[in-house]
Amino acid sequence: MLCRASAPCPSPTYKHLTDGKYLQLPNRSSPLNALSPKRFRMPSIYTLNHGDADRERQRLDLQHDVFKNITRGDLPPVIWQHLKSISAPKVADANTGTGIFLKELAATVTEEAQLDGFDIDTRKFHETASLPANVKLQYGNVLEPFPKQYLGIYDLVHVKLLYAALKKDEWLQAVKNLKTLLKPDGYLFWSEIGAYGYASNPYSAALHEWKRIESAAAVKFGRDPKCPVLLQSQFREAGLQQVDEKVFVMLGRPELTPVITRVALEYMAQSLSGIVLVDQDETLGLTESGIKSLVETLTKETEDGVEVGTNLHWVWGQNDGMSC
């Protein structure tokens, strides 16, 4: 069930977060190959894909719906204008998750549109029977060359939320690889968050401890703690033109606070348990009891009125027609 701004979902209680519904802490004594993200061809630094596929589907669809309410739409106006000027636009959605973005986009473009979703974890795709006829979901990796039949054919390539999956030197690589999918005048559009933007009102020591852990994990795992603030320069370095950015601040949106809180707490529980899993040598000093206590503390604080949020970045640019 998706949550709309007009009918916000209540924040989960700590019991909901720790009874197994949201927080699934890995057992360090379990064989690594039983839980490792590599089992599903996920990057070794990825910390969000160790839960039940159905629960992950629900989390991703809720996250999509909340972010759409935050931004009041799916796409920047200039990209909407571009798509509307084409009778049968072709759109690729990289890191498509469940396919929810394309599933909803299909209702706003012509039936002749070609809507292709790519992801390295196909377990979370919505059932084919539930998808519009012009939506196709398949395996695809933003860091690997795409099949030749997809190169240079798309009016829009959309990608989102790869903070937990990419290493520092892979952001530019991903931009360049996704650019190969674009028509000469096609747009690349990236929607992203980063731990740098985690904030609360009033101050929460628990939230800042979470932010500290995420930043330390980013450094250890080779991520970029500053992402996505460098995306604009990476778009330009890849040769994209008319590069622009819009940043959405989640704090101070009282009509959305309940659903933003819910998404944040679910993400917190999922991310921290994933960090425990990936931190095999335990040098980050995390314990299952410590993580549970941190989730419990922040959850109780939000129930007492603490507001949490981050910044959501939209970055887009148009193809220059040149190869990278």
Residue with more model confidence, 43 or 256 = 256
Length of the chain: 324
Residues 253-274: what's their mean pLDDT? Answer: 93
Give a yes or no: residue 221 inside a domain. Answer: yes
Number of compact structural domains in the chain:
1
CA 109 to chain centre: 24
| SS3 call for 165 | coil
Residue 219 has pLDDT above 60, yes or no: yes
Give a yes or no: residue 6 inside a domain. Answer: no
Give a yes or no: residue 3 inside a domain. Answer: no
Count Cβ atoms within 10 A of the Cβ of residue 91 and give its class: 0-12 exposed, 13-18 middle, 19 or more buried: buried
Which CATH number goes with the domain that contains 221? 3.40.50.150
Tell me the C-alpha distance between 254 and 251, whole Å. 8
Residue 56 has pLDDT above 90, yes or no: no
Give a yes or no: residue 9 inside a domain. Answer: no
What's the token pair of residue 91?
A: 């759109």
Tell me the C-alpha distance between 117 and 188, whole Å. 14
User: pLDDT of 59-110, one tens digit each?
Assistant: 899 999 999 999 998 899 999 999 999 999 999 999 999 999 999 999 999 9
Give a yes or no: residue 324 inside a domain. Answer: no
- Would you place residue 55 in the very low, low, confident or very high pLDDT band (cuts 50, 70, 90)? confident
What 8-state DSSP symbol labels residue 118? E
| SS3 call for 60 | helix
Residue 38 has pLDDT above 90, yes or no: no
Asked whether the beta carbons of 324 and 314 are under 8 A apart, the reply is: no
Residue entry with tokens 């894909």: 49
Sequence letter at residue 311: N
Residue 216 has pLDDT above 80, yes or no: yes
pTM of this structure? 0.85
In this predicted structure, which of 24-33, 256-265, 275-284 has the lowest mean pLDDT?
Answer: 24-33
Range of the domain at 202: 14-318
Give a yes or no: residue 323 inside a domain. Answer: no
What's the token pair of residue 296?
A: 């419990």
* Confidence (pLDDT) at 71: 94
